[in-house]
Structure 1
Amino acid sequence: MSFVSVVIPCRDEEFFISRCLDSLLSQDFLKENLEIFVVDGMSKDKTRNIVLEYTRKYSFIKLLDNKNKAAPFGMNIGIKNSKGDIIILMGAHAIYDKRYISKCVDYLNKYNVDNVGGVTIPLSKDEGIIAKAIARAVASPFGAANAHYIIGGGKPREVDTVFGGCYKREVFNKIGLFNERLTRSQDMELNLRLKKAGGKIMFFPDIKAHYYPRRTELKDFFRYNFKNGIWAVYPIRIVGVTLKLRHYIPLFFVLALLVLGIGGIFNRSIFWAFVLLAFLYFLANLYFSLRIFFREKDVKLLIFVPLVFIVRHIGYGLGSIWGFLTIWKLKVEASGLTK
């Protein structure tokens, strides 16, 4: 039977880490064939104390330090310390279904692929309307850019990336570890590297995790998406990697709004093109917002979900624009691989 190493990079996750670890303790996978590494980025809250309590009770749970704090360093530290022939990367913000690990292992071996993953179902951290609207919006095709690992559904299929990921150890021996210069998008870059090396990644809709979005206030949600937009662009220069087209749709949309909006001041035809684009966006926003409203039967969502969509798309698009404006300051990296 396969030995599995779980790696959880985290920092200041006192509200979530217990729920995450409890869900792993409830797994139907044999604990004798499991080790769990919580790699802490020098948390300033109670995260470390909470994890230490688990390490005292369960010998297969271990706490490691990530003095560099950023996620790719944490994942690499966990991988280097692991001994499993299968490595599963997990997020502290998630609660994992009882058969999550066993299904990952079964499918990885059955289909003889290099990485598998499943669906993440967003949850609201509290019952506040903003948190609820964010959770519902990011689970929508309009808010998730049609990412399979968020919207789910369909049949098992080969994809370009998955949430977290369940990897064969030999993958890291072959293509290297996570690029530590990429504070975001490092998982997508590694999976693109894996695909270029001839590896296969598969998505399975019955592998499920419930995920708490990291931001539950609109201003924080805007900043979060702005940074994600920046890091959709930076890998182009840092490691010469271009992400999938869906990551640049907000960039094209916001650029079009800006160009047409400014041009419309001087030209009537351009002005009407701006109006048409804005109207089409309004219709799409309304359609997906109504779908959420009819499913949830909460009239408040009809007010806040459209706003969340706007914040997500505009924030991400502006971030990507800023990324291109500042990309020249970045150093080009010859390799970017950590061995």
Structure 2
Amino acid sequence: MNYPLVAIVLPIRNEARYIARCLEAVTAQDYPADKINVLAVDGLSSDETRSMLSDFASRDARIRLLDNPKQITSTALNLGVSLSQSEVVIIVGGHTKITPNYVRLCIEAFGQSNADCVGGVIETVGETDMARAIALAQSSPFGVGGARFRYSTRAEYVDTVAFGAYRREVFERIGLFDEELVRNQDDEFNFRLTRAGGKIWLDPQIKSIYYSRGTLRRLWKQYYEYGFWKVRVIQKHGRPAALRHLVPVLFVGALGATLLLSLVTQNPLWFLLIFIPYALAALGASVWSGLRSDWRIVPFLPIVFFVLHVSYGAGFLVGLIHWNLRVRTRAAMIKPS
């Protein structure tokens, strides 16, 4: 087997709770140690992350610690990619623990698929009952639609993966990550790659563990931002990468419209026409997901599904207003007098 040089780029900020597990996994791969470099790009963490990174770097010369003054993921990724000198770049999140064979399986998948990017399946886990419910919702087709990297059991070409491995020439061909994007920078990059004719391969043998948000408030913030920034990605490309990205905003729009209609007509049936089928679907998905994992968290799941879908849809609606106003304002400013 040929062992190309691999750079693992870690965009990190305030990950003291998880960074030790992340780095231990990254540095314990069953791949030649002299063929792996780690670029830990820290966004000026205000917790113990920085000291923990420094401690790891002092014990493992393969780890290089870099500063990310702009504190957003896309700038961290670009800094790491630009300073790496490897044939392959793998993106790993600070909230993530990869399996010991992750790097090797990624390299093998390149040979088997001839893809430009390869990745695997995320196992989302939680450390409390609520976090476990959130993790189950994020691993459910009802929760995340067609995001195959969340639950696929077969190797296939897909439109995106999380924590992907990229051939060096991909960045030379389509550029780096879009630094305007605070969220969705990996989805946008993969969308750009596939539009340029690139291929993304998902192999379910490639596995990682992702630690979910622990509260509904944090889940709301996460998915609200996903929805908000997804509008900007669509605006840049003129169309969504997949129709599934539009489902939450259509649901929230329908829910809001029927609620308003019910209030105006004083007839709750309009709202119930949308809400009851959704509630039944959420309940069914909750029972199905819970019984396959832990029935004790079934009572949490319907509200988790609702928060996940509504937060994304609400963020998308706000994004529609914000980004369209911004574009019109810019156009008015440059309009010749």
The two structures have a TM-score, normalised by structure 1, of 0.92
1:179-328 aligned within 5 A:
179-213=178-212, 215-238=213-236, 240=238, 242-266=240-264, 272-299=269-296, 301-328=297-324
CA change 1:198–1:297 in 2 (3 A) is closer
Tell me the matched-pair count. 327
SS of alignment partner, residue 41 of structure 2: strand
SS of alignment partner, residue 4 of structure 2: coil
| 8 Å contact from structure 1 (residues 41, 74) kept in 2 | yes
| 8 Å contact from structure 2 (residues 134, 301) kept in 1 | yes
Match of residue 110 from structure 2: 108
Per-residue CA shift, 1:78-106, capped at 9, x if unaligned? 00110110111111111111111000011
Aligned equivalents of 2:238, 2:54: Cα separation in 1:
40
Aligned equivalents of 2:252, 2:327: Cα separation in 1:
27
Q: Which runs of 5+ in 1 are unaligned?
A: 334-339
| 8 Å contact from structure 1 (residues 237, 330) kept in 2 | no
Aligned equivalents of 2:216, 2:273: Cα separation in 1:
27
| 8 Å contact from structure 2 (residues 87, 168) kept in 1 | yes
Aligned equivalents of 1:204, 1:304: Cα separation in 2:
31
1:123-162 aligned within 5 A:
123-124=125-126, 126=127, 128-153=128-153, 155-162=154-161
Match of residue 333 from structure 2: none
| 8 Å contact from structure 2 (residues 261, 270) kept in 1 | no
Match of residue 31 from structure 1: 33
Matched residue type, 2:60: Y
CA change 1:63–1:192 in 2 (3 A) is same
Aligned equivalents of 2:46, 2:325: Cα separation in 1:
31
SS of alignment partner, residue 208 of structure 1: strand
Aligned equivalents of 1:217, 1:9: Cα separation in 2:
23
Deviation at 1:307, TM superposition (A): 0.8
Match of residue 85 from structure 1: 87
Per-residue CA shift, 1:217-247, capped at 9, x if unaligned? 1122212211111111122335645332111
Match of residue 177 from structure 1: 176
Q: 2:51 aligns with which of 44, 49, 52?
A: 49
Aligned equivalents of 1:241, 1:74: Cα separation in 2:
27
Deviation at 1:185, TM superposition (A): 1.1
Per-residue CA shift, 1:98-119, capped at 9, x if unaligned? 1110000111123211000000
Matched residue type, 1:263: L
Aligned equivalents of 1:91, 1:280: Cα separation in 2:
36
State the percentage of identical aligned residues. Answer: 35
| 8 Å contact from structure 2 (residues 234, 240) kept in 1 | yes
| 8 Å contact from structure 1 (residues 189, 241) kept in 2 | no
SS of alignment partner, residue 66 of structure 2: strand
Aligned equivalents of 2:108, 2:327: Cα separation in 1:
42
Matched residue type, 2:216: L
Aligned equivalents of 1:51, 1:182: Cα separation in 2:
26
SS of alignment partner, residue 317 of structure 2: helix
Task: Please identify runs of 4+ aligned residues in structure 1 that moved more than 4 A.
Answer: 238-241
Aligned equivalents of 1:229, 1:177: Cα separation in 2:
22
Matched residue type, 2:124: P
Aligned equivalents of 1:145, 1:39: Cα separation in 2:
31
Deviation at 1:203, TM superposition (A): 0.7
SS of alignment partner, residue 330 of structure 1: helix
Q: Which runs of 5+ in 2 are unaligned?
A: 331-337
CA change 1:261–1:92 in 2 (3 A) is same
Matched residue type, 1:254: V
Instruction: Quote the RMSD (CA, aligned, Å).
Output: 1.8
CA change 1:297–1:38 in 2 (3 A) is closer
| 8 Å contact from structure 2 (residues 287, 295) kept in 1 | no
SS of alignment partner, residue 208 of structure 2: strand
Match of residue 15 from structure 1: 17
SS of alignment partner, residue 316 of structure 1: helix
